[in-house]
Amino acid sequence: MTIVSYGILPMGEIAALRQPSMAGVLESAVGTWGRVFISVGLIVSVLGAYLAWTLMAAEVLFVAAQDDDMPRFLRRANAVDVPVPALLMTSLLTQAVLICTRFSDDAFNFALNLTSALSLIPYLLAAAFAVRIGTRASPRTTGGRTSRRELTVAVVATLYTAFLLYAAGLKFLLVSFILYAPATLLFVMTRREQGRRLFSPRELVVLAVSVVGAVVGVVALAAGWISL
């Protein structure tokens, strides 16, 4: 589509087209119906993508609840098998994030960097756990030990994700803690439903780091030390 566009309109005119620019290109080639066709197709595509991502986000909570990793109310579904509580929670959280981006100077880059930071923390913990398994006997591995190659991969992955978090910057790490700390309530609800101990000593350390990071993040935002 990029090559053909330059064969229909000069580069300067293409640069001045409104989004979706392909609508303007096709209109120049075949008339008004080309612009309408592309515009309608874009609307259908965006709505389809929005529906797919909404259902995928809800499925994360729904499946986790079925595996007893989330509170039981999130596994409920209505007569047509729609996970209403999970869908409602993810939709509300999505709207909250959209509201936050409204106050950002560069909403797209802010959302991109924030989602990257949010995903890097679980990656770092998973890689560090792989190192922990590799440095001691564990029934989780074949023969109770991991190979040197697997341990090397785990160490490299841990160092790499730690570097990526550092490269992302302190601002996004603190904002990530603001989102992660309240989610501890879901963890507590799940443990109580299962009659298990709420926090192990290591989990208390993770909780303390999350809460302290969240408090520092809120103070930093309120004081203007960091901005969205």
Provide the pLDDT for residue 157.
93
**Residue 141 DSSP class:** S
Q: What are the structure tokens assigned to 189, written together?
A: 């609800």
Q: Is the pLDDT of residue 137 over 80?
A: no
* pLDDT digit string, tens, across residues 42-98: 999 999 998 888 888 899 999 999 998 899 999 999 988 889 999 999 988 888 877
Per the model's pLDDT, the better-predicted residue between 112 and 201 turns out to be 201
Instruction: Tell the residue number behind the tokens 């389809």, with chain if given.
Output: 48
Q: What are the structure tokens assigned to 196, written together?
A: 């298990």
Per-residue pLDDT band for 145 (boundaries 50, 70, 90) equals low
**Residue 80 DSSP class:** T
For the chain, give the mean pLDDT.
85
Prediction pTM value: 0.67
Amino acid at 184: T
Q: How far apart are CA 94 and CA 113, in angstroms?
A: 16
Q: How far apart are CA 58 and CA 78, in angstroms?
A: 14
Q: Rounded to 5 degrees, what angle do the CA atoms 89, 90, 96 make?
A: 90
Q: How many other C-beta atoms are found inside a 10 Å radius of the C-beta of residue 107?
A: 14
Query: Angle 84-102/107-134 helices, nearest 10 degrees?
Result: 120
Provide the pLDDT for residue 174.
85
Per-residue pLDDT band for 40 (boundaries 50, 70, 90) equals very high
Per-residue pLDDT band for 181 (boundaries 50, 70, 90) equals confident
Per the model's pLDDT, the better-predicted residue between 220 and 2 turns out to be 220
